[in-house]
A and B are shown apart, each in its own frame.
Chain A
């Protein structure tokens, strides 16, 4: 019986959403929140239309355009015809199917994974899906949140459920105190460096330990966001007083007595003592340094004090060839100090690091300094609300005076579906989540790092240890 044996946070959220368990263990799992955007929904709505089906629960669904939207002047129509068509298609679909929509010109518009928590759409204990792998972000609230494909988007629209087997449990414990200059981004890059890009495959990761609970909600979202970069289906952090404080007062969060009942329930969600984990990974926070990727997947990461690794030192032939290919693509030389690598572009933003706390961290470094000659530095707030808040705090002026571009909200140069992209050969210090070949534009070279590290790189013209700016 449920409740008699110790369960993990993941198992509690899962169990409370099982509609039906099929004979082979596949579950019909109920979904509390379905977030949709313009890139992965057109085929799903078209599928519904062809089959004559409706959206079962439009009141549990929200739509926003984020991937294609330009981050320049919003008062003019989207110039690029295909991007415009995709956004217009979303607008047409939400009208036809009665789905709540945040328009491009609405101040609440932004990256779907920023606005979910910000609007109180994403809450602890919920199941949350989106046709986007970085849905894991919402796990920071203690929700089970995962990315799905377009066919599954259609399935959720039609049935408000997904068909899935439960994942295995992985515990990542980060004990100790994070050294100065290090952030949530450095924690998660260090974790991925340790477990590898497929280390979490088939698992849901629960992050725990002193260094995790010490993070603010923004930092927790950064960690959970990159769970998918470690191959995990989702990442979760147990809800605590910080979580409840964060949720309180969010526009769509429960209020009054309903909130108190919700909090009483959320307090029952943390993993029970003795709950079983299939894999346990432990990291001492004190050993973490500001991290930066050198290769073309997120596990190719090192402390900024390190040097580009030498493939010749790698005994495994397959790994050696992969390393060499990464170095060729990245135009790096074995032994080259990472802090000597010059950069052309800096991108501060994305669902990983586009929250107000990230902008503050960047502005703190930028204040009184100037972007190095020849470097283009973009700051793209994760939502219109983040942008408003930053402007209210005067962060935009600090950044603009320092030579940064202050732009409108969206996914932007994280994946270059809008006009913000790298040109072939350009090297970018980026606060986003993926450094795959061509991710930020064909031929572009990406180094992943924290917002403070990115701002420090912008004013230095090369990758640099942010601790030198203390």
Chain B
């Protein structure tokens, strides 16, 4: 996982609500046993027609959005399944930041595990950024995680909220498991306590 500090790049507008994980990456592409290589299938049905040819009207099939690193969408982005293939596909395409009014919980969680920053901003602000992004390559956005601001092409700064734990994890590209294992003595102690208090909990095997 790469550190996320400051990102400046092309933002692609995707002004659609309820983009579900089946839309981000359909189930038939979940048969992989790897995390990589899913970018080509990102938004498969929106991006390609029945013959597999690109749909020229879809934003990520147009310049400069083919190189987008930021996606701006509407409400409830990432609803549906728990498949981490959704953030893996976004990341493999090159997206490091998704801005939307709100996200489905599991998708939101999964983003952080992969160095993707999901930013919640009010719908009106998202719409303003979508207008900016329509200017294409002339309208690169900057996302500064350290200062917790999105910088519009006109220089205006928009503050955003983020959990301090998650911010720290992204800034330092920390491995969650490594962090939790620092609490191993507490986990050991919990298991001993549970063995005494909840001794009815049987083992599976």
Contacts and interface: CB of A to CB of B under 8 A. Distances in A.
B165 A100 contact: no
A20 B189 CA distance: 11
Nearest to A51: B177
Contacts of A416: 27-28
Interface in B97-155: 102-106, 109-110, 113-114
A147 interface: yes
Given A149-B82, A151-B114, A165-B163, A100 B17 contact: no
Nearest to A33: B204
Contact of B187 (A83, A86, A159, A442): A159
Contact of A152 (B34, B76, B113, B181): B113
A201 B75 CA distance: 11
A159 B110 contact: no
Given A154-B177, A198-B79, A201-B76, A442 B199 contact: no
Interface residues of A, number: 81
B177 A155 contact: yes
B138 to A, nearest CB: 27
Contacts of A201: 76, 102-105
Main secondary structure of the interface of B (DSSP, over half): loop
Contacts of B58: none
A253 interface: yes
A265 B198 contact: yes
B93 to A, nearest CB: 18
B45 A24 contact: no
A198 B110 CA distance: 17
Contacts of A30: 187, 190-191, 194
Contact of B105 (A42, A231, A253): A231
B30 interface: yes
B92 interface: no
A150 B32 CA distance: 13
B177 A434 contact: no
A417 B165 contact: no
B83 interface: yes
B33 A85 contact: yes
B54 interface: no
Contacts of A28: 180, 183, 186-187
A121 interface: yes
A163 B176 contact: yes
Interface in A95-116: 100
Interface string A10-25: 0000000001101010
A149 B84 contact: yes
Interface of B: 17-18, 20, 22-23, 26-28, 30-35, 45, 50, 74-76, 79-84, 87, 102-106, 109-110, 113-114, 163-165, 176-177, 179-181, 183-184, 186-187, 190-191, 194, 198-205
Given A133-B82, A161-B187, A434-B22, 11 more contacts: A43-B34, A51-B177, A56-B187, A60-B203, A61-B204, A68-B31, A149-B113, A159-B181, A163-B165, A434-B20, A436-B22
